[in-house]
Each structure stands twice: as structure tokens, then as C-alpha cells.
Amino acid sequence: MDTALLSISSFFPLHWLMPQLAMHIPDGFLSFPVILLTWVLAIALIAVSLNRVQEEYQERTVPLMGVCAAFIFAAQMINFPIPGGTSGHLLGGTFAGVLLGPWAGSLVMAVVFIVQATLFQDGGLTVLGANIVNMGLIGTFGGYYLYRTIRYALGRDSFRGIIVGTAIAAWTSVVVASIVCAFQLAISGTVPLMVALSAMVFWHVMIGIGEAIITVIAVSYIWRTRPDLLYKAPRTAPINASRPLSPR
Amino acid sequence: MLLHIGGFRLDIDSQGETIWHHLIPQTRVLCAVLFVFAIALTPNGRWWTWAIYGTTVTAIILASRVSLQVLLKRVAVEFVFMGVVILGTLFRDGGQVLWQWGWLRVTTEGLTILGSVSIKALLSLLVMNVLILTTSVPALLHALAALRVPPLLVAILASMYRYIAVLAEEFNSMQRAARSRNLLGNGERQRTVIGNMFGSLFIRTYERGERVHQAMLARGYEGFPPMADVPQTKQRDIVAITLTAILALSGQAIYLLF
């Protein structure tokens, strides 16, 4: 069955549409048990992160989370070329995690998905829980902790640690989220597992590369200009802060 | 991505004087959510259930007198975006083989799932679009607060909604600036420029957040934004919710009883 999809993609402009679709599942694609489980997880994530964020930011919560969520929303509308000939857009899960930390980051991502699902019908209402789990919990929370592990292993205050951590976490979180999404579709009986896996994972390996490149460039820009804005900012000021990357 | 946004004026039909408009916003939200869940949770292949739901959705569309042209245009664009995922459900094993070409085969089960999933997605889209077209965003947010969504979450949603257009404009002007300096040439250059753009815009956004916070403090903000009074539930709201629940249940009952 996995060869099936490759040739379907030659009939239909899959390579153009697939990255645009990302992982926003529409209504009607998931079965009741999957919907129930993902909603419970999503509500728990939102409830805990609301409390954590409120503790950390106090009454700065509303304006800061609001503008950051609007930032991610607007950033997702910018298309950029992905190596391999297609174009995609940032999902921003790991980016939010690296800059705002796991709790504020996943809250921001959840808010973005709520607005996309309710106001813009980008992703269904019943599957909102699954979308939050895939891209908020796995993308941001999982992405952040992977980044943190790598960063602390390579040196908490080193540029190398932050960049390597960001790159690996950004790619991995996108690919893992797409695998989880494929399993959700397969368990619900909507799309056969092999088709779902080959379609989702193949494209998200590519999308993940784009995500990693853009996230690394953006994070290194912030490291060079305002390193204090990174979550768990480096304790020493970057030595020999060079100019931001510029196109040659 | 999100081609269907166009402008940020969503509630073009919110000033109507119909039965649907006379319901208070939280009733409309509750009815829509109830109905979307009922539609999406129906197991595949229950055509009669969707016949009932489809009739109800048509009745709501007609009763609310939304501009059909706008509604259909939005739904059509959104449906195209789903097209590929929907097609993925067609090619599978199981049931009778109806059509085969090499290893590519269409089976009865594939068709059943394709049909069911498309109907579910379409009906849910119609319901949500009617809600969004007839209810303004502030009214929606008040409805969420009235329905016991945590006030902090509603406040974050409200402040986010306020800044989407501002940030989208900042992104646009930055892209325009890069393009006018001929910086968006080949792929590698584009990625570098866009990555730097995200970095600098995040810094600006964070600083904007702090400025907004200062401005809010200067106007007497104490942690939670004030909420306007929510309209009282009237008899027709209770009738509407009961009617929705009865219709949702009767759709399911067809297959349980017969």
C-alpha cells in the first residue's frame, strides 16, 4: 500500500497541498475514543499551563501571551521554500518552547489552535484536542525537553548547545507529531495505517528540515541580539557577538 | 496557508433580525458545538442520521438568513484544503472491489468511508461558518466566558485576536522591505531572510507585549480584564437548546431503534 500513495501523488498536486495541510485534521476524521482521550489530555495541558503561566508572569500574562500567540499565528502564514522543491510554513512549536519555555509555549500554541479552529475553520472543532496534543504537547512540550537535554549536555551557555538542540528538537518534534497523527487517523479507521504513515511521515521529514532551518536561524538571531529573551537565558553574555546571519 | 482569511471581518451577517439572531450568543455557541460533536461522532455509514442533521443544518442556514454566496464560497475554499486528506480515505482494502487499475483499487468500504467523512466534514463546516458569520468575535468571547471557560484563557484569546491583524501587517511590511531590497532571491537567501525576520519580529513582539502591559497598568488593570454583562437566558434559548439536543439524539436513535 505504501507505493500506492507515491503514485497518487503524481496524479494530484500532493507535493503542493500536503505541506499546506500540515497536521490540521478536519472534523469527522477521528473516532470517539481518540477524540475523548485527546480532549482530556488537551484540557489538562491547558489547565496546568494556565496556572503555571499565571504564577510566572502574574498580571503580564494576558498581554504577553496574547501578542506571542498572535506572533505564532502570523508567522504560520509566511511561506518559505523547503530544500527539495516544495514550500511550507513554520509550525512554531519548538520555536515557542525555546523562547517561552514549555508551559507558556504550549499555552500559546493551544491558543493559536483554538482561534484557528473556531474563527477560521482551519482544523475541526472536535479534533481540536488532537491538534493541541500533536502540536502543543508533542511539538512544544516534547520539543522543549529534547532541546533542553541536548543543550545541557553540550553546555548550557554555549551557542553550539542551543543551536544543535534547537535543530534536532525542531525536526524531531515535527516528525514525531506527524507519526502520532498518522496513528490517530489509523486507529479511527479513517485512513489505512500504511497510507497515513507514508503520506504524513514522508512530507513531514521534509517539512521538519524547513522547520529546523528557520527555527535555527531565528533563534541564532535572538542569541546574537537579545540573548536574555531565550528561556533560561545564558548566564554569561555571548562573547564576540557577531552580526546576525546575512545572505551572501 | 489560510487563503480564506482575506480580511479580518468575519461577522458580516451579525446584524440580522431573525430567530437565530434573537438567541443569545452563548445559546448559539452551545447549539453549534453540540451539533458539530453529534455530526462528527456519528459512526461511518449512517446515512439517515446525516439526512436528519443535514435537514436541520439547512433549516438553520435558512432561518439565520446568512449570505449564501459568502457561506458557500468560504466552505468551498475550506473543503478544497481538506480534499487531499479526504482522498486518502478512498484507497483501501475491505469490501467488494468496484474498480481496479494496477494496485490502485476502489472498494465499497473505501467509498463508504470517503462519503461519510466528506459529509461529516461538510456539515460541520456549514454549522461553524453560520456561527462565525452571524456572531461577532466580542460576542463569541463573552459567550465563552459565560459558558465557564476560564476567564484567563478568554482574556488571552481576546488580546490575541486584537493583535493578529497588527502582527500580520508587520510581517507583510517586513517581507515587502526585504523584497524591495532584492533580498528574496534564491531559496537559501529567502530562508535566511525569513529566519532573521522571525527572530527580530519576536523581539519586537515581546517588547510590544511589555508596552501593552504598561499601558494596561496605566489604565488601572489589575490582572483580569473587566467583562461586560452577559445577556440573560430567555425562554427561547432553553427551547433552542432542547430542540438541538432532541434533534441530535433522534438522529442517533434511528439506528438504535430500527
pLDDT tens track for A154-212? 988 888 999 999 999 999 999 999 999 889 988 988 888 887 888 788 888 888 999 99
**Strand ranges (DSSP E) for A19-173?**
79-82, 86-89
Q: How far apart are the CA of B230 and the nearest CA of chain A, in angstroms? A: 20
Specify the CATH number for the domain of residue A153: 1.10.1760.20
Q: Do B32 and B99 fall into the same domain?
A: yes
Q: Do B40 and B128 fall into the same domain?
A: yes
Interface contact B159-A195, CB threshold 8 A = no
B38 assigned to some structural domain = yes
pLDDT band at B227, cuts 50/70/90? low
Range of the domain at B47: 3-146+231-257
Find residue A87's DSSP bridge partners.
A81
- Which run of H or E residues covers position B97? strand B97-101
A86 assigned to some structural domain = yes
pLDDT band at A240, cuts 50/70/90? low
- Report helix angle A32-57 to A61-75, nearest 10: 130
Nearest residue, CB atoms, A66 vs list B88, B92, B160: B160
B162 assigned to some structural domain = yes
Give the tens place of pLDDT for each residue, A112-152.
999 988 888 888 899 999 999 998 888 899 999 999 999 99
Q: What share of chain A is helix, strand, coil (3-state, %, to 5)?
A: 75, 5, 25
A238 assigned to some structural domain = no
> Measuring CA to CA, how many Å separate B214 from each of A63, A66, A118?
10, 14, 30
> Chain B: residue nearest A24 by CA?
B82
B224 assigned to some structural domain = no
A243 assigned to some structural domain = no
A239 assigned to some structural domain = no
All residues at 6 or more sequence positions from A156 whose CB lies less than 8 Å from its CB, including other chains: A232, A234, A235
Any B CB within 8 A of A84 CB: no
Q: Do B107 and B188 fall into the same domain?
A: no
Number of folded domains that form chain B = 2
Cβ atoms of B236 and B22 closer than 8 Å? yes
Interface contact A35-B89, CB threshold 8 A = no
* 3-class DSSP assignment, residue A79: strand
Set of chain A residues whose Cβ sits within 8 Å of the Cβ of B119: 28
Name the average pLDDT for chain B: 84
Q: Do B208 and B129 fall into the same domain?
A: no
To the nearest whole percent, how much of chain A has pLDDT over 90? 46
pLDDT band at A1, cuts 50/70/90? very low
Set of chain B residues whose Cβ sits within 8 Å of the Cβ of A194: none
Nearest residue, CB atoms, B153 vs list A7, A46, A219: A46
Handedness of CA A220, A224, A226, A229 (dihedral sign): positive
All residues at 6 or more sequence positions from A11 whose CB lies less than 8 Å from its CB, including other chains: none
Q: Do B83 and B189 fall into the same domain?
A: no
Distance from C-alpha of B41 to C-alpha of B116, rounded to nearest angstrom: 11
Name the average pLDDT for chain A: 83
User: Would strands A86-89 and A79-82 be described as parallel, antiparallel, or unpaired?
Assistant: antiparallel
* Residue ranges of A 156-175 with Cβ closer than 8 A to chain B: none
pLDDT above 50: residue A79: yes
Q: Do B139 and B159 fall into the same domain?
A: no
pLDDT above 80: residue B95: no
Number of folded domains that form chain A = 1
B223 assigned to some structural domain = no
- Between the two ends of chain A, the Cα-to-Cα distance in Å is 44
Q: Do B71 and B188 fall into the same domain?
A: no
pLDDT above 70: residue A105: yes
B108 assigned to some structural domain = yes
Any B CB within 8 A of A26 CB: yes
Nearest to A27 by CA among B141, B53, B1: B53
> Chain B: residue nearest A92 by CA?
B198
* pLDDT for residue B34: 92
Q: Do B140 and B162 fall into the same domain?
A: no
Interface contact A8-B87, CB threshold 8 A = yes
Q: How far apart are the CA of A162 and the nearest CA of chain B, in angstroms? A: 15
Q: How far apart are the CA of B112 and the nearest CA of chain A, in angstroms? A: 10
Distance from C-alpha of A23 to C-alpha of A19, rounded to nearest angstrom: 9
- Which run of H or E residues covers position B100? strand B97-101
Cβ atoms of B225 and A62 closer than 8 Å? yes
pLDDT band at A241, cuts 50/70/90? low
A236 assigned to some structural domain = no
Q: Do B26 and B113 fall into the same domain?
A: yes
- Between the two ends of chain B, the Cα-to-Cα distance in Å is 45
Interface contact B160-A216, CB threshold 8 A = no
Mean pLDDT value across residues A212-221: 93
A19 assigned to some structural domain = yes
Mutation to test the B interface, candidates A7, A27, A94, A220, most B Cβ within 10 Å: A27
Identify which has the larger pLDDT, B17 or B161: B161
B225 assigned to some structural domain = no
The 8 Å CB, 24+ separation contacts for A237-242 are A238/A159
Set of chain B residues whose Cβ sits within 8 Å of the Cβ of A76: 1-2
Range of the domain at A44: 2-229
Provide the Cα torsion A171, B191, A111, A55; round to 10°: 80
Q: Do B110 and B49 fall into the same domain?
A: yes
Q: Do B201 and B127 fall into the same domain?
A: no
Q: Do B110 and B52 fall into the same domain?
A: yes
A234 assigned to some structural domain = no
Any B CB within 8 A of A199 CB: yes
Nearest to B223 by CA among B164, B156, B129, B177: B156
